[in-house]
Structure 1
Amino acid sequence: MSENPIPVVVIFAPTASGKTALTRELFCGRGSHFILNAEIISADSQAVYKGMDIGTAKPEPDFCREIPHHLIDLVTPDVQFSVADFVEKADAVCRDIYSRGKLPVVCGGTGFYIRNFLFGLPKTPKSDERIRNQLKERIEKEGNEALYAELKIVDPQTAAKIHVNDAYRICRALEVFYTTGKKLSDCKLENKLREQYKFLFLVLEPPREVLYERIRQRVDMMFLAGLEAEVQGLIKKGYTKESPGMKAIGYSEFFEEGWNKEKICQTIKHDSCKYAKKQYTYIRDIPESIVISYNNTDKDLQNIAGLIGNFARMAGFSIDLKA
């Protein structure tokens, strides 16, 4: 472990809560907010996939050029990208950013990624290739729902944190159970934050109904921006409902609804609202977290800017205030 922990700002906020607008406001400088020498590390489990731009609401290319973003567009939709991959790559990027005199800012809504980044990966049993292959064959024949129902029986705590479309994590949880007889939920994270970092962890909580309305509006905007054509293009490239990336909300619904556009749109809205509520599951009760009721007001932005500014100054970074 380094004698000098790396300072890292971690911002968690649910889908459609305005994370991109917030980081633009803070780190590009708008009004009275500061300009800070920072780079963004995306903690979005779907933004890693190339060609999945509209449905994942990736930040605009111009913004990514203005403030460097990392862990976006890493793999094609047919590649499984695990939480272990995220933590490994996020660690490497944090070290690189800090070595260049900049502040790493991890920002996203995948609580599973963020929790494992804060605490480190839990110690889990090694993969059993035979059992893993058997489960893969079963999920292809029986479908996600059948194995998900099985997981709810043997390990309900883990099942509650996994989406029914997440075939990889369903199979992994069942693999652990059938290999060891133990539940994956019993493989606990460390109970303290990793010491190689000094964290400022901000949890943004928008009003629930305001968030749901923002989600519904964003889904409508996605369809206007060409989400349907984006999915068709991915299918033409050979990606299917079994491709890991295509299991994401905003993509999987096109395979489930018989391509009824209006029904797909409504299902995406429903699934997204449900997911937004579930996103907080993984970031509850994290030590030293600062929970902020977030209404996207100037007062909220000033509060967040003050917290990050003080943290950055304590870490030795200079802050330039926007006139």
Structure 2
Amino acid sequence: RADALCNQLSAQGILPILSGGTGYYLMNFICGLPTSPPSSRAIRAQVGRDLDEFGPQVLREELAEVDPNAAARIHERDIYRLTRAIEILRTSGKPPSLFAPKKAIRSGRKFIVIGITRSREELHVRIHERVEAMMKEGLASEIEKLKSLGYSSKDPGLRAIGYREFFELEEDPIERISSAIELHTRQYAKRQMTFFRALPGIIWIEPYPADFYRVLKEIGSNS
């Protein structure tokens, strides 16, 4: 669908701009889809049952026996990538690393990839201010309401940063929870930067006019 829309816009003399989405979506659009086997509902359901019954560590050990590199790359809290790797392993019988995402721009397309960055100091200040704002706007009350409705840390949405800390540190003061959210957000931002640096030909800019005009010139010279 995205390819078709890009073709349609280009035919009208309009430069298509793809913004946002997850890192893997952007990587797959630029470089092409990986050749991993299609997901199986039956195997996915079995992996989900194993996760609930035995926990993520058992799945990680299963993956590490066959593909230690893949197991080492997956963050301990990244349940989605862990379970997907197990699905691929059980479906194909092969190490998931064999189906790693492509890293070169796919043929038939020309991309100008732009990433927005900030200094580490500025980013940390903004993260701190964001967490403070979340707390002031009633995040703790939202968590209590969700708990009263029967939701728990087993629900996928509540494993995200900003929610899971309230379950992991349930007995701790709110200041400790706030600090944990801030720390985990900084760690996540670092992982994001590592991932996006792997996008081929990415041009980094800071969100200021001088850098913006520099990129406009870059686009003009490459169009």
1:214 corresponds, among 119, 126, 146, to 126
Report deviation, 1:140.
0.7
Tell me, yes or no, if structure 1 residue 306 matches structure 2 residue 214: yes
CA 1:222 to 1:150, structure 2 compared with 1: closer, same or farther past 3 Å? farther
CA 1:156 to 1:117, structure 2 compared with 1: closer, same or farther past 3 Å? farther
Counterpart of 1:308, as a letter, is: L
Unaligned 5+ segments in structure 2 are none
Matched residue of 2:94: which SS? Answer: coil
| CA RMSD, Structure 1 to Structure 2 (Å) | 3.3
Is the CA contact 2:113–2:202 (under 8 Å) kept in the aligned structure 1? yes
Give the TM-score taking structure 1 as reference length. Answer: 0.57
Tell me, yes or no, if structure 1 residue 267 matches structure 2 residue 219: no
In the comparison of the two structures, how many residue pairs are matched? 221
1:291 corresponds, among 197, 204, 213, to 204
CA 1:281 to 1:258, structure 2 compared with 1: closer, same or farther past 3 Å? same
Report deviation, 1:257.
1.7
Is the CA contact 2:115–2:203 (under 8 Å) kept in the aligned structure 1? yes
Counterpart of 1:172, as a letter, is: R
Identify the structure with the greater strand proportion: 1
CA 1:137 to 1:92, structure 2 compared with 1: closer, same or farther past 3 Å? farther
Is the CA contact 1:115–1:282 (under 8 Å) kept in the aligned structure 2? no
Q: Distance in 2 between matches of 1:158 and 1:165?
A: 14
1:123-158 deviation digits (Å, cap 9, x = unpaired): 111334443332211211222344335434543433
Q: Distance in 1 between matches of 2:96 and 2:9?
A: 33
Q: Distance in 2 between matches of 1:277 and 1:202?
A: 18
Is the CA contact 2:23–2:195 (under 8 Å) kept in the aligned structure 1? yes
2:63 corresponds, among 142, 151, 155, to 151
1:34-61 deviation digits (Å, cap 9, x = unpaired): xxxxxxxxxxxxxxxxxxxxxxxxxxxx
Give the TM-score taking structure 2 as reference length. Answer: 0.78
Residue in 1 aligned with 2:137? 225
1:160-205 deviation digits (Å, cap 9, x = unpaired): 4434333232111012223333222221334432345432212334
Q: Distance in 1 between matches of 2:84 and 2:7?
A: 30
Counterpart of 1:311, as a letter, is: I
Identity over aligned pairs, percent = 35
1:121 corresponds, among 33, 52, 65, to 33
Residue in 2 aligned with 1:142? 54
Q: Distance in 1 between matches of 2:150 and 2:118?
A: 38
Tell me, yes or no, if structure 1 residue 203 matches structure 2 residue 115: yes
Is the CA contact 2:63–2:86 (under 8 Å) kept in the aligned structure 1? yes
Counterpart of 1:303, as a letter, is: D
Counterpart of 1:134, as a letter, is: Q
Tell me, yes or no, if structure 1 residue 251 matches structure 2 residue 163: yes
Is the CA contact 2:40–2:91 (under 8 Å) kept in the aligned structure 1? yes
Matched residue of 1:203: which SS? Answer: strand
1:68-118 deviation digits (Å, cap 9, x = unpaired): xxxxxxxxxxxxxxxxxxxx6x5577568778857424136x433322222
Is the CA contact 2:103–2:199 (under 8 Å) kept in the aligned structure 1? no
Counterpart of 1:270, as a letter, is: L
Residue in 1 aligned with 2:153? 241
Tell me, yes or no, if structure 1 residue 181 matches structure 2 residue 93: yes
| Higher RCO (CA 8 Å, separation ≥ 6 residues) | 1
Report deviation, 1:234.
4.3
Tell me, yes or no, if structure 1 residue 106 matches structure 2 residue 10: no
1:272-321 deviation digits (Å, cap 9, x = unpaired): 111111113333343322234x3x5x4xx322233136526975xxxxxx
Unaligned 5+ segments in structure 1 are 1-87, 316-323
Higher Rg of the two aligned structures: 2
Matched residue of 2:26: which SS? Answer: helix
Residue in 1 aligned with 2:77? 165
